[in-house]
Every structure is written in C-alpha cells, then in structure tokens.
Chain A
C-alpha cells in the first residue's frame, strides 16, 4: 500500500492525518481508508504544520540559523520531527457491493490512508442511455482519467442545473461539453439562448456542429445568413403576447392596460397597431387632459417596445420592421413553433441571440419558454407528460431574470416561473451565472445540481455553500482555489460532493464517438 498518511486525531468532519513525508498532499486530495467490508473515501480540506518541537524552540532554532549561521548545524530527522498535518473529512463509504453510504463513523485510529485510485471509484461504473459525461474525478489537481462522472440527464435537468463561476473559469466550455453529450440523448431537449454565439461552431471551428449526429439532433437559428443546415431566426410579431414581456420590460399600469386593450382589439396585430398609432390622432372625442395623458402613455409605450424589440417604423409603407431581422410582421416567421417542436422531440436548439439586445433576447426566450411550459402543462393534464423529453432552458447571466431585484420590482417572468414550478412539468432551467448571491435563496436551493467552478468572491461562495446539497462548509478555500476547468459537483443525485476536472471541449469533440455504453462509459447514481 502506498501510504499517504496516518490518522492521529480529530473527529467527524475534521480528522487529523499526519502526512507521510514523501507524499506531498494537496488540498482536495482524495484518500482512502481500507476497512473491513468497505472503503472510506476522504478528502483533504486543510493542511498545516505539525512538529514534535515546541513553538518557542522552533523560533529559537530559526534564530540560531538566521543570526548565528553556525557551521555544521543541521536538522536531524527532519521528516520525523517536523511534518505536515492534513485536515480531512470523510465523503463516502463504499461497500463491497459498491453501494454508497454517507459515512457516520471514523476511520480506525492510527489507520493508514492511501491516495485514491481508479479501482476505488468502480462504484461510479454503470451504463445508461440518457447519461451525460461531466468530467473526470479529481484528487487535488491530479486527474483520475479512469474515473468518469456521468450524470442522469433527465434527473439533473428536471431539477434545474446551476453553473456558477467568475469569468474565465470555464462556464461556457462546460455548457458546450454538456450540450455536446445531450446531442447523444433524446431524453432531453434544450433551448439555448446563445448570447455570444459561441456554441454552434461556425466557419470550420469546432463546436456543437462537429457532433456526428448534429444534422439530426442539433438545430441552429441565426438572424442573418444561416449557414447550410441551419435556419433563419425570425419571430413573427403576431406570436408575441403582452405577457411575454412580463418581468422583462418594466411597464406602468397604464401601459399594461393599453397593451391588453390593443391585444384584445387587434390580437396578432397589436404590436404593429401600437407602433403605427399616430399620437396626434389619439383621443379625438375626449377632454384635452385625458387626450394628453393617453398620448404620453402611448408615446412611452411605443418607445419601450421599439427599444425592447429593436423595431423601426417605416412610415412610407406604414409597416414595422426589425433592425436585426428577427421580429417580422410580414413574412410570418415560424421559428417559435419550430423550436418548440424540436425541443419536444429531444433536440438541442441553439438560438444565436448575439445581435439582439438583452431585452429582445429575453423576450424571444420568453415566447418560446412560455409555449413550452404551456405545452407541457397541457401534456400533464392529458396524462401524456411521460412521453415527453425533459426540456431545459439554458440561459446566461441568469440574474437578469431570476435575480432578487428583478423579482421584487417586477412581476414574475417565465424563467422564474420555471425555476419555481417547472419541475412538476419536466421543464427546467440551466442557469449560468457569475453572481449567485443575488438569486433568492428559495430558488437557489431548488437548483438541485450545481457544478461549482472557481470563484474568488467570498459572498458568492457563501451563497453556494449555503444552498448546496452536500455539506460544503469546509470547502470555502477549495472553491476559491479551483483552477480553470476544475469543479465540484454538488447534487441530490450524487452521494457526495464530487471534485471533478471538466475536459476541454475540443478534446471531447475530437475523440467522438465516445466509448460505447456499458464498457468504459461509466457512471450511474
């Protein structure tokens, strides 16, 4: 046995281990204690010095060396006298039959611990159709390539997925990897609002389009010049309803009343009608004061809708046009229906929203997401929800729609509705964010899988630790020190918080097809 250290004290959650002098433990290292009918997996969360020598004497020794520079002075048995103590917590007990329990007892006193090996992680093994590969188990910064973590896509996407990290730690790369594996599964459909147009892979770049089955399972919409095999992103203005703006654009009560009235009077034409209304023609039969108010309300409303959807009014032809071709009153784009259908067929749908402003992007998402939720609600009433794939909405900078401030100042938006009750209808949110602390606790706690990447902001880490599915109270520093692509998965679907290394997307795309299910394609919880 390759001994890494020996248990010398402590208690549950904070076991003290003396490091074997050669082993150079790292924070995050996984250790194993071999017990009678099981193994105990432990994780290093702290390192400190230990010594047989009293602190004052150590200072004196240092003084002797620094001040006297004596010849022939040495440290006798340095490894024996001064050493490193690791603080360790037990993560899981893996039984002979590969079942996993939460550990409720301590490893043997003076028991020897060794570094984990892929053999110890056999319990991760198993096959399955709708599983997606997330990454390799990581011990400190050492990646255990044989121990792969696959999660059940249906489980994690129904119960919402949160991907928090500060910038540059690998959120987009992770999303890309996850979506890539989703292309292999028909059990989950995804709507991806791709604000940076970074997922599809244009101009020969590696991206989701590099997947061998992309033609079949990936659909890409872009407003202009769609490459071969992809489609035009056009949303017909007549598919938009006043409630699609809810919680995204802020309207006054008077404005909302006006919108509702136009919607009931003109139905699909309501936006055009509002936009084309000539303010001078308003309120002929009314008092001047009322007319003034109404025209102000209308002016502001026009302004807000124009801004939100990036519209322009072509006075000559008396039509409303979209500056980026997305919203259309003439051609009658079918994007919304198509998208919903594709998602219901388990495909990954990427919308290039990079040319849209924030609000327009969210409104587009809102139109589609509302439709999906409606369909799924109906499917549930009709008792056919089981037949549908799980649907997930992937959204960047999630606090735009589920942030505390947004939710307090405006009415509910469709995204927050999904976060709160989508689970019942198999519709989930995949929220990517740099700021988790501004998401209400109730929503955070409901995001039952979190793939936590590095984060140097204390407040963010605290929000994540408090809402994690496992006890991460000792992992604050670990999270702070996660390198690019290093992550911790905490989830109600894993037995303990799994430290992982996320692969680089290009590596994943290049090695496709992935190993066949059942052989090296491992991982089940």
Chain B
C-alpha cells in the first residue's frame, strides 16, 4: 500500500469528479443521438401504474454464452437460449423447447489474394439436437455479422451467435403466443449491425402479425439527460414529487437509429430500489391507447413482486437463471473438449496453442 503522505491520485480524482459532476444545471430531456428530441421529464408526465387482477400472459426471453476454449485462430463458445412463460406471479406452462443449447466454433484463417493479405472467418454451429436449428441463427448470418464488425478481433465475436439466437428464440416463441400476449426481451431493442437488425425485423413482423406486443426491459442504462445526468437517476428524483408508488414516464420516441423501441422509465413496485429502462416496439406503441399501455404496465408490475428483487420482473430472473452459462459449465465442457482433443493425435498442436493462449488466465490466478 502507498503511504498516506505524498500525492494521492485518488483524492485528486475525486476532486475533479466533484467539479465535473455536481452543481449541474438540470435539463430534463433525454439526450438522443439522432431522430426526434426526447420528451420533457416533469412530474405531470408520470403515469401511475395500477394493480391488475387479470395480468396478460408474458414470455421472457434471454440468452447466455461462455467461452469454452480459444486460441489466436479459433474460439469455441457455449450458447444458451431460454424462454419462460408467466401470468402475474405464476408460471403458465412452458414453450415446446424452453431451453436450447448449442456450441459455436469460429475459426480465423488467412485468405490471400494477389494484392492483399487478409483473414476470413469460418463459422459452424453445433446444436444438441438438429431440430433446434430453428431457434438458432444460420452459420452464414453469423459469418456475415462478423464481417460487418469494424475489426476482426471484435470482442463481440464469441457472443454473436447468442445475440442473433435471442432474436430467433423470440421469434419462435411469438409463433406460439396469442393476440394480447407480451414478449419481454432482456435488455433493449437496440441492434448492432445489419444482420442483427434484420433478425429483429423478422421478430417484429411476426409479432405484429400475431398481435403480440414486443418489449424490452434493461437493468441498466447509459442514457443521459441533456443536463448530463444519468437518466434513470434523474427520473427517480423527479418522481419523488409525484406521490406515485409505481409509475411510468415516456422518455423518447427514439433514442437512436439502431433502436426501434419507444423508450420509457418504469418503477414496477413501490419498494423498488430503482427504476428501469423499458421500451415497447415503436410501431406498436404509437398505436396504443392508454388502456392498452396500462394493461401492459400492470402486467409487468404483477410479475415484479418477488422479494428477491422487488420491482424487477421475476420472469427475467428466471430467464437469467436458465440462460446463464456458469463458470462451472465452461470448465466442464472445457475439460471434455480437452480430453477429446488429446485422443486425436493431429489435434495435439491445438491443445498447445490453447494452453499458451490461456497462459494469461493462469497468470491472473497466480498473481492475484
């Protein structure tokens, strides 16, 4: 530990932070990147959420992934997709394949032309069951999505198959739902590239055809107000003057061109510690009357009374529980893979490069 005397960088840092982040002048409109400006965040704009005795059926979709093995020229991930169905506090049956799992292998190889050196990616996906392919992205699309990313070594590569898979899982789920049901995605409706937005588009079209509402709820948000304050904090402050226990406030019709949702902030239980970002597919939202908005919000609130996380939908806790890829899963599959590689003489070299690549992890283990 550094001595207490002398220069203390953290103290200086805190002083700077205070200068930069306090005494800001409120400007209570969300900062948007493009499109129309946000709505003014004022007490009168808060809409109370009422309790309901007849919550709608809701489907919660989430995915998870973990890296089982990697080296400079390949990465193997384990991907999980999950969908759970609830009505209020109760689970209502399960979709045909509530949870699917597949491996993805992305290999980077050299592909020279006469004029340049470059790398190409090969993508292969391996489900436990071939019938699960309908919940998965195609290998071609994953590959195209990689090509779309700015640099070849994008950290998104290991999770691309999973992200695209979530849209597919959601679409497959919608096809089993009925008019008036609600689909809730974990996170936001933001897409990162051309391929992903076309996957999202497929979902939206299906949902609109069947009359299923598409929403997303995010635990965290980086959105700021024009005054530079974190949106959710500021909204929470303003809400204090409204007297509503559960509320919703419309924030912006569009916060970015990559996001098709109408963005709101919601507090789904009077004892919730904080509000969350909530969005509804814009085309659907703009056609809703107040009764329909209330129906959706009340249904969300009716699923958010679990003591483990008051104000957060239990359906998402549940989805996370099943979709998450844990370290123990990764370790188990990693070991299985290694034993298979070892049995194959030709692949012994791969094992070596995996080990070398994993050396920094070992170093972390040693030096921490």
Contact = CB atoms under 8 A, between A and B. Distances in A.
B307 A64 contact: yes
A72 B308 contact: no
Nearest to B317: A76
A477 to B, nearest CB: 31
Contact of B91 (A52, A65, A73, A77): A77
A74 B269 contact: no
A229 B314 CA distance: 79
Contacts of A72: 51, 269-270, 305
A68 interface: yes
Contacts of B306: 73-76
Contact of B89 (A52, A64, A70, A76): A76
Contacts of A75: 306-307
Contacts of A71: 270-271
Nearest to A76: B306
Contacts of B217: none
Nearest to A82: B308
Contact of A64 (B51, B310, B314): B310
A70 B321 contact: no
B307 A73 contact: yes
Interface in A39-89: 52-53, 57, 61, 64-65, 68, 70-77, 81
Nearest to B273: A64
B308 A70 contact: no
A199 B208 CA distance: 87
Contacts of A76: 89, 305-306, 308, 314
B271 A64 contact: yes
A127 B91 CA distance: 54
B321 A73 contact: no
Contacts of A81: 308
Report which residue of B51, B269, B308, B321 has the largest number of chain A beta carbons within 10 angstroms of its beta carbon.
B308
Interface string B202-217: 0000000000000000
Interface string A141-184: 00000000000000000000000000000000000000000000
A68 B51 CA distance: 20
A70 B314 contact: no
Contacts of A61: 307-308
A53 B305 contact: no
A73 B314 contact: no
A64 B308 CA distance: 9
Contacts of B308: 53, 57, 61, 76, 81
A84 B91 CA distance: 21
Contacts of B305: 72-74, 76
Contact of B269 (A52, A53, A65, A70): A70
Interface string B273-312: 0000000000000000000000000000000011110100
Contacts of B321: 52
Nearest to A68: B271
Given A52-B321, A64-B271, A68-B271, A74 B307 contact: yes
B235 to A, nearest CB: 21
A220 to B, nearest CB: 69
B271 A73 contact: yes
A136 to B, nearest CB: 42
Interface in B300-337: 305-308, 310, 314, 318, 321
Nearest to B86: A76
Contacts of B270: 70-72
Report which residue of A57, A73, A76 has the largest number of chain B beta carbons within 10 angstroms of its beta carbon.
A76
Report which residue of A52, A53, A68, A72 has the largest number of chain B beta carbons within 10 angstroms of its beta carbon.
A72
A61 B273 CA distance: 13
Given A52-B321, A64-B271, A70 B91 contact: no
Interface in B240-271: 269-271
Report which residue of B51, B305, B307, B318 has the largest number of chain A beta carbons within 10 angstroms of its beta carbon.
B307
Nearest to A63: B307
Contacts of A57: 308
A71 B304 CA distance: 12
Contacts of B91: 77
A431 to B, nearest CB: 52
Report which residue of B51, B310, B321 has the largest number of chain A beta carbons within 10 angstroms of its beta carbon.
B310
B99 to A, nearest CB: 15
A480 to B, nearest CB: 35
A61 B271 CA distance: 12
Contacts of B318: 77
Nearest to B302: A72
Interface string A248-283: 000000000000000000000000000000000000
A71 to B, nearest CB: 7
Contacts of B51: 72
Interface string A9-50: 000000000000000000000000000000000000000000
B56 to A, nearest CB: 17
A52 B318 CA distance: 10
A502 B306 CA distance: 48
B11 to A, nearest CB: 31
A76 B305 CA distance: 8
Nearest to A69: B271
B301 to A, nearest CB: 9
A66 to B, nearest CB: 11
A57 B91 CA distance: 22
A75 B306 CA distance: 5
A21 to B, nearest CB: 14
B89 A74 contact: yes
A61 B312 CA distance: 14
A74 B314 CA distance: 11
Nearest to A70: B271
Nearest to B89: A76
Interface in B44-61: 51
A304 to B, nearest CB: 74
A7 B185 CA distance: 34
A57 B317 CA distance: 13
A51 to B, nearest CB: 10
Nearest to A75: B307
Nearest to A71: B270
Interface string B65-98: 0000000000000000000000001010000000
B270 to A, nearest CB: 7
A74 B89 CA distance: 9
Interface string A497-524: 0000000000000000000000000000
Nearest to B245: A71
Contacts of B314: 76-77
A68 B307 CA distance: 11
A76 B306 CA distance: 5
A42 to B, nearest CB: 26
Given A64-B271, A68-B271, A73 B310 contact: yes
Contacts of A70: 269-271, 307, 310
Contacts of A73: 269, 271, 305-307, 310
A64 B307 CA distance: 7
A332 B237 CA distance: 108
A70 B270 CA distance: 8
A36 B324 CA distance: 35
A478 B121 CA distance: 62
B85 to A, nearest CB: 13
A410 to B, nearest CB: 63
B73 to A, nearest CB: 36
Contacts of A68: 271
Nearest to B314: A76
B195 to A, nearest CB: 35
A52 B91 CA distance: 17
8 contacts: A64-B310, A70-B307, A71-B270, A72-B270, A73-B305, A73-B307, A73-B310, A74-B305
Given A52-B321, A72-B270, A72-B305, 4 more contacts: A64-B271, A64-B307, A73-B269, A76-B308
Nearest first, the 7 closest Cβ-Cβ pairs linking A and B are: A70-B271, A76-B306, A61-B307, A76-B314, A73-B307, A72-B305, A74-B305
Interface of A: 52-53, 57, 61, 64-65, 68, 70-77, 81
